Structure 1
Amino acid sequence: MKKILASHLSAGPTLVAWLGATVLVERLWAFCLPAVLLLVLLAVVCCVRSGSGTGPPPGPPAEGKAVFITGCDTGFGNAAAKHLDSLGLDVFATVLDLTGDGARALRRSCSSRLTLLQVDITQPQQVQQALLDTKAKLGLRGLWGLVNNAGVCVNLGDAELSLMSNFRGCMEVNFFGTVSVTKSFLPLLRQAKGRIVNISSPAGDQPFPCLAAYGASKAALNLFTETLRHELVPWGVKVSTILPSSYKTGKPRPQTSTWPHLQGAASKAAPPAAPSSNNAYWEQQHQQLLQSLPPALMEEYGEDYIAETKDLFQSFAEHANPDLSPVVNAIVHALLSPQPQLRYFAGPGIGLMYFIHSYCPLSISNRFLQKLFVKKTLMPRALRKQSGLEKNNTKNNNKII
């Protein structure tokens, strides 16, 4: 290269540039190829691991251990209570309705060890009463496990269209309610050096469209869980987070708290999972949203845009996975394994989703979310009008020219 530059040839700089680019590409390829192969291998491992599920671990014996589970009317909580009871644990299961279908099913299928408690986790008095009832049954024993499963998912539309009551309601149940239960039962958990298992959602880590209220509450829960995990290390209490994919978690039940519009504080933890595939539920939510929107917003977005969002959520709920066993197995593993995982990707595709979110460029991650969830075809009405005006202006300008 020095000789070429010294020769004062006109082609010298161009040749040097080409040679330099060639060497650079060669070095980058040699450096990046192993990294690319490693990333591909990690992606495959994540997919296999998230899809394989976690079976019952060869951990400490289950007999004699007590577990407190919230949100057992339907879904993950109901299924986990039945399974843990079958393994010999003393299960304290909270429901919103002691006379409901979920409570009756638990009484029929579980042993006499099961204790049903009516608890709305947004009501501190009910949480404290549940604590007293649990202490009375435990005696001198501590509490081995707390499964914070109760939650709500109210998701009908863009953040601007979501009611403030939806944001407050999701935070009150998914975050503040869980914090209240956890703080109340921590002395019993510390006594037993037990486990805390929080059912969260990938929506708390990734920006799923139309899930702003739900995702924000789960993001708060995720940070609380991670902080708690560090703080409880000296006490010997292990803390795990379960991140489910989309599951059918049952028909929602009326919420008895001060947010009566919310549906069922049973398990609704899957990120894009809708609370129900019930047509009446979605129509009710849709009509409530239409009635509450200011006329200006309705004009900007359009009723057809809002209706499409409702249809997409309902379709997503109808195609959700009815097999809850990956989540139930993850709960069992987190409670009984000698070394529980910090995070469980419960369901196919969750590991791959987190891999793409963590290691791929943001543009690829965003496109993946858009292709995966709420594939809208309509733009808001105001944008459609603007687009039409721009086309007309372009035609007129062309005619003038």
Structure 2
Amino acid sequence: MALAVPVLSPFFVTSNSHSLPRRPIPASSMEISQPTPADYADTIPSLTLHILKAPQMLLQAVAYHHPVSPIMGMSGECRCIVPDGTMVPRRHHEYRYICMQRRGSRLLQQHVVLALMLLYRLHRQSQILDNLSGKYVLITGCDSGFGNILAKQLERRGMLVLAACLTEKGAEDLKKETSHRLQTVILDVTDSQSVSSAAKWVTNIVGEAGLWGLVNNAGFAHTISPNEWQTKEDFAKVLNINLLGMVDVTLNLLRLIRNAQGRIVNVSSAAGRISMFGGGYCISKYGVQAFSDSLRREMRAFGVKVSIIEPGSFRTSVCMFDPMMKSLKSYWEKVPAEIKESYGEQYFQQFKDEVEKITSYSSSQVSKVTDCMEHALTAVYPWTRYSVGWDCKFLYLPASYLPTVLSDYILSLFLPKPAH
């Protein structure tokens, strides 16, 4: 008794003719017997293997398949095989098995659609604006870190960079490493008078043509500790730099950006998606997300695009172990005795160890972040959000989408246990 292969047979007897489904195959051309459940149990793995090895056969199989219901071939007619000697098409639902031809062709179609979507995304991502050499871009926080690297990167590209530094030394060092295309200005984002003065300086340089790009990069992160260890002033210090300073700079330059129909790039963090520790840092980055979202919707009508950069842990001055430990130790020393007793010295030591792990896992590939910033400034279709770093993409970002009870459980695993 020959093995019944009701789905595999067309792979060996088909041709490219679309008229073949209307011409039943003579019984003498191939030996087929009535299938049994045992036969299907043996043949399904073989069919799957053929589907994986020969996708071109699936394309042939589609031409032989009569239209069926959306339930993957469980009903309807398949004219590729006829019972031996009857010349009557089999109906799949009579034999209670899934048509592997139909399923295979559906899977192939889905993969083709997915591949086309990915190609379209890559095509959009690769389109870069022309004539950017005369465009002005202001970057805050250029003394070190992302801002310093981005300023050099854009200057080498030929763009006109206005680098805002907090210190004279930072400005002088940056000018020594760049050409005349980069100019510097001293800016303290927490000082409204300094922000206003810098905005007037920018206006005099760019004129009515406007400012093409604003990168709000200035930030501060050395405030990681349990919330109870900090004061209102500790929270306010971080919020003034990371959030309110950003808002002040943006509002002072928004008219110039609208004139140029330019770009605003705000540096947030993975901590702007999910709050991983206490202090003002996560709060400030959540605020950056909210401000950027509202600004993006408001500026859309003016042709201004707003992007958010969400870096994970990278080795910059913001994520250095020694400054973080100095800050953490100062918080612990100021904590009242009754609070210290509740947490215990062991809690402090274990918390310090966890912070050290975070900084030790920091990536040294800082250019990944600045490349995203550059793309947001120069691409025809900039992204709304750029999540940068493996920790951000595979830990913090997925955790932010989990149900709260799960994300709370996962993140609490990294927190030490208090004494009481």
TM-score, normalising length from structure 2? 0.67
User: Following TM superposition, by how much is the alpha carbon of 1:55 offset from its aligned partner in structure 2, in angstroms?
Assistant: 8.4
Aligned partner (choices 125, 141, 149) of residue 79 of structure 1: 149
Partner of 1:365: 407
Work out the CA distance in 2 between the residues paired with 1:330 and 1:168: 29
Partner of 1:271: none
Task: Check whether the contact 1:56–1:333 (CA below 8 A) recurs between aligned residues.
Answer: no
Matches within 5 A, 1:114-153: 114-153=182-221
Work out the CA distance in 2 between the residues paired with 1:348 and 1:337: 23
Task: Check whether the contact 1:171–1:217 (CA below 8 A) recurs between aligned residues.
Answer: yes
Partner of 1:218: 285
Matches within 5 A, 1:1-400: 57-100=127-170, 103-208=171-276, 210-250=277-317, 268=318, 275-278=319-322, 281-353=323-395, 356-357=398-399, 359-370=401-412, 375-376=414-415, 378-382=416-420
Task: Check whether the contact 1:244–1:327 (CA below 8 A) recurs between aligned residues.
Answer: yes
Work out the CA distance in 1 between the residues paired with 2:333 and 2:397: 41
Work out the CA distance in 1 between the residues paired with 2:223 and 2:125: 32
User: Following TM superposition, by how much is the alpha carbon of 1:105 offset from its aligned partner in structure 2, in angstroms?
Assistant: 3.7
User: Following TM superposition, by how much is the alpha carbon of 1:354 offset from its aligned partner in structure 2, in angstroms?
Assistant: 6.0
Work out the CA distance in 1 between the residues paired with 2:409 and 2:229: 23
Change (3 A) 1:58 1:184: same
Work out the CA distance in 2 between the residues paired with 1:358 and 1:160: 24
Q: Residues 150-197 of structure 1, C-alpha deviation per residue, up to 9 Å, x if partnerless?
A: 111133321122232221111111111000000000010000000000
Q: Residues 104-126 of structure 1, C-alpha deviation per residue, up to 9 Å, x if partnerless?
A: 44222211121111111000111
For the residue of structure 2 that corresponds to 1:171, the secondary structure is helix
Task: Check whether the contact 1:60–1:338 (CA below 8 A) recurs between aligned residues.
Answer: no
Work out the CA distance in 2 between the residues paired with 1:154 and 1:224: 22
Task: Check whether the contact 2:268–2:311 (CA below 8 A) recurs between aligned residues.
Answer: yes
User: Following TM superposition, by how much is the alpha carbon of 1:237 offset from its aligned partner in structure 2, in angstroms?
Assistant: 0.5
Matched residues, percent identical?
34
Q: How many pairs are equivalent?
A: 305
Partner of 2:64: none
Work out the CA distance in 2 between the residues paired with 1:113 and 1:339: 26
Change (3 A) 1:343 1:283: closer
Work out the CA distance in 2 between the residues paired with 1:153 and 1:276: 9
Give the structure, 1 or 2, with the largest relative contact order (CA under 8 Å, sep 6 or more).
1
The higher radius of gyration belongs to: 2
Task: Check whether the contact 1:154–1:213 (CA below 8 A) recurs between aligned residues.
Answer: no
Work out the CA distance in 2 between the residues paired with 1:245 and 1:282: 16
| Amino acid aligned to 1:73 | D
Task: Check whether the contact 2:229–2:332 (CA below 8 A) recurs between aligned residues.
Answer: no
User: Following TM superposition, by how much is the alpha carbon of 1:219 offset from its aligned partner in structure 2, in angstroms?
Assistant: 0.9
TM-score, normalising length from structure 1? 0.70
Work out the CA distance in 1 between the residues paired with 2:393 and 2:162: 31
| Amino acid aligned to 1:312 | E
Change (3 A) 1:55 1:238: closer
User: Following TM superposition, by how much is the alpha carbon of 1:96 offset from its aligned partner in structure 2, in angstroms?
Assistant: 1.0
Change (3 A) 1:112 1:355: closer
For the residue of structure 2 that corresponds to 1:139, the secondary structure is helix
Structure 1 unaligned runs (5+)?
A: 1-36, 251-267, 269-274, 383-401
Work out the CA distance in 1 between the residues paired with 2:130 and 2:188: 32
Task: Check whether the contact 1:60–1:337 (CA below 8 A) recurs between aligned residues.
Answer: no
For the residue of structure 2 that corresponds to 1:79, the secondary structure is helix
| Amino acid aligned to 2:320 | S
Task: Check whether the contact 2:165–2:186 (CA below 8 A) recurs between aligned residues.
Answer: yes
User: C-alpha root-mean-square deviation of aligned residues, in Å?
Assistant: 2.8
Work out the CA distance in 2 between the residues paired with 1:354 and 1:282: 20
